[in-house]
Structure 1
Amino acid sequence: MPRLLRGVARTAVVAGTATAVSNRVSRRQANRWSTQQEAEQYQEPQYAPAPAPAPVAAAPDPLEQLRQLGELHAQGILTDAEFDAQKAKVLAST
């Protein structure tokens, strides 16, 4: 009978130790996870950078525009009134 009690006592000690170790590991993991979650909450969210604005088209050269208008006028495509109106627009935009 003493051997049986010794075996039962040893089993109880082993089971109790295993339970204590298991509980300690669980608490340690829970603390670690809660610390990580708190750290993630306080970090600023990472946003994707804003897309670069589309390149602005270079302003057309007024001299080139006047030259083209002159060619169109010389070819007879533009009348004198149309040529004067377009030339006034080009000169006003500079």
Structure 2
Amino acid sequence: MPIIEVDGLVKRFGEVEAVRGVSFEVREGEIFGFLGPNGAGKSTTIKILATLLLPTAGTARLAGFDVVRQPNQVRRAIGMVFQDPSLDDRLTAEQ
């Protein structure tokens, strides 16, 4: 069973189609690179997989859970590390 299944994923923001019919599978233990030029829809796709955005069309499943119908189970099954730190640079460890 694939750990990530994406089929015909679409995300529109008004007239802009940020993700256009993306489909792929990643099996457990595989190393997978999600590459493309700026504006290709990579970040939007990841946000959908992380349940931060709803898709306009298509389906996505992580660990067997549907990102739209079972977002809480998806969130329990994944971990995310953001590219940029979200804490204020001026805070000390104690704060």
**Could you say which TM-score interval applies, normalised by the shorter chain?**
under 0.3
Choose between structure 1 and 2: higher strand proportion: 2
- TM normalised by structure 2 equals 0.21
* Greater relative contact order (CA < 8 Å, ≥ 6 in sequence): 2
Which of the pair is proportionally richer in helix?
1
